[in-house]
């Protein structure tokens, strides 16, 4: 097995970065999952950008999603198994707090992490579809602008990615859904997809040139993105405001169970 020491020769390209972070790999990534029950929800926002319309109802099977994005500390476990090189942003002290979300990773990096974690824990892990991301983020607040409701937090901008615990939680206890980083999703991007997407378990177009991301983002002039906001990036790129969280197949022994979604026509929003 490759050495778990993240200061091993493979990573001597950035020894000072890793030493400064003092990241000691653990036996397993402590993935904190929240189960999202099967059901309908309302996706999109009629008052948003064209790609966020039309608002439409979607059924999703049960799944589980990480409470927070993958952190630098968790990503170090992945590096310790010799999978890839450290993100270049770790050279900047604004980005190497172990409890910050890892950023500067490409879609390919994120999917490699998911495969590695699945192999380690013998559980299926992957990136969320954007429908899964939005349902989990809304947590039954189908008419609310933000994951936690209507109120915008007083802080409007950041000079670095905040720790997930510095952001409001939604009713499922998920954090860092807005104001932190764009989160890679499984889907290819298509601004017209909502008009033709299936109503049950949509997974995005078959092909494309950009992958969808959700949430965001600390470096925007206004960091607090509405829950329906969609963005995208070519999958080989990794910016300082791009991270990810994982989903799984809702193994009950590992999950806290969230509240069921409201049926269509009976949303529990604050408007």
Q: Where are the domains of the chain?
A: 31-257
Mean of pLDDT values over 73-92: 87
Torsion, Cα 160 163 165 167, to 10 degrees, reads 20
pLDDT, tens digit, for every residue of 7-22? 332 333 334 344 545 5
Higher pLDDT, 244 or 18: 244
Mean of pLDDT values over 47-54: 91
What is residue 216's predicted lDDT score, i.e. its pLDDT? 81
Residue among 64, 78, 88, 122 nearest 252 (CA)? 64
Which class is 31-257 in CATH? alpha beta
What's the angle, vertex CA 178, arms to CA 93 and CA 165, rounded to 5? Answer: 60
> With 80 as the cut, is the pLDDT of residue 135 above it?
yes
> With 80 as the cut, is the pLDDT of residue 2 above it?
no
Task: Decide: 140 and 159 in contact? Cβ < 8 Å.
Answer: no
Query: What are 45's strand-pairing partners?
Result: none
* Band of residue 170 on the pLDDT scale cut at 50, 70, 90: very high
Mean of pLDDT values over 77-97: 88
| Residue 33: DSSP 8-state | E
Task: Decide: 181 and 72 in contact? Cβ < 8 Å.
Answer: no
Mean of pLDDT values over 103-122: 95
């Amino acid at each position: 097995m490759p050495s778990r020491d993240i200061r091993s020769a493979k990573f001597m390209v950035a020894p000072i970065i890793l030493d400064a972070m003092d990241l000691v790999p653990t036996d397993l990534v402590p993935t904190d999952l929240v189960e999202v029950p099967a059901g309908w929800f309302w996706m999109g926002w009629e008052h948003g950008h064209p790609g966020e319309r039309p608002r439409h109802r979607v059924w999703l099977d049960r799944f589980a999603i990480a409470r927070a994005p993958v952190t630098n500390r968790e990503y170090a476990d992945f590096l310790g198994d010799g999978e890839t090189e450290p993100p270049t942003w770790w050279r900047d002290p604004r980005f190497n707090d172990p409890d910050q979300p890892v950023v500067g990773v490409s879609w390919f990096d994120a999917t490699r992490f998911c495969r590695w974690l699945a192999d380690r824990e013998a559980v299926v892990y992957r990136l969320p579809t954007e429908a899964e991301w939005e349902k989990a983020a809304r947590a039954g607040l189908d008419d609310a602008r933000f994951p936690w409701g209507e109120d915008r937090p007083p802080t409007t901008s950041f000079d670095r990615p905040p720790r997930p615990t510095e952001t409001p939680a939604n009713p499922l206890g998920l954090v860092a859904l807005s104001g932190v980083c764009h989160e890679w999703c499984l889907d290819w991007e298509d601004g017209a997809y909502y008009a033709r997407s299936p109503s049950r378990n949509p997974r995005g177009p078959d092909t494309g040139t950009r992958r969808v991301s959700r949430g965001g983002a600390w470096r925007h002039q206004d960091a607090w993105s509405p829950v329906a906001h969609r963005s995208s990036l070519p999958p080989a790129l990794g910016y300082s405001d791009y991270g990810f969280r994982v989903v799984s197949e809702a193994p009950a022994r590992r999950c806290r169970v969230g509240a069921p979604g409201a049926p269509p026509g009976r949303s529990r929003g604050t408007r």
